Amino acid sequence: MPLKSSRSNELQESPRRGVISRSISHDDEIILGSENAWADLGYPDAQERKVKADLAFEIRRRFDDLQITQSGAAKKLGIRQPKVSQSVNFRTSGYSVDRLAALPIQLGATVEMHISYKS
């Protein structure tokens, strides 16, 4: 049930299940985050989460480019449709980075890795 508020800066439940949103007022401070939202939120495995999300995004984009359904993708990848659904909906906790990286390769992509060090 949505929370109703007469004040624009109070929390309100979004139409998307489990998502809480808040209207922004002119008095709100906006803080620019890094390129890794999980690091900004303090997750100890933030880098792994970001890599998995990036891979899931590319998998989803490839499905769209190929105009295939999740069922069609499951057949092409040799996995069950619920696993395809998990990957394209960013529910990647059941996947290793290696397994997620293998999916775009099976769909004709080349996966490259970039490593950089902080000075």
Share of the chain above pLDDT 70, in %: 81
Domain boundaries, the chain: 46-106
**Comparison of pLDDT for 17 and 37, the residue scoring more:** 37
In contact, 56 and 90? CB cutoff 8 Å: yes
Q: Are strands 11-13 and 20-22 parallel, antiparallel or unpaired?
A: antiparallel
Q: What is the pLDDT of residues 50-78, one digit of tens each?
A: 999 999 998 889 888 989 999 999 998 99
Q: Is 58 helix (H, G, I), strand (E, B) or coil?
A: helix
**Comparison of pLDDT for 97 and 14, the residue scoring more:** 97
Q: What is the per-residue pLDDT for 2?
A: 41
| Distance (Å, whole) CA 97 – CA 108 | 18
In contact, 52 and 97? CB cutoff 8 Å: yes
**What are the tokens at 52?**
């998995």
Q: What is the pTM of this model?
A: 0.68
In contact, 73 and 106? CB cutoff 8 Å: no
Name the DSSP letter for residue 95.
S
**What are the tokens at 14?**
């979004």
The CATH number of the structural domain formed by 46-106 is 1.10.260.40
Q: What is the pLDDT of residues 75-90, one digit of tens each?
A: 989 999 999 899 888 8
- What mean pLDDT is reported for the chain? 80
Q: What is the per-residue pLDDT for 21?
A: 61
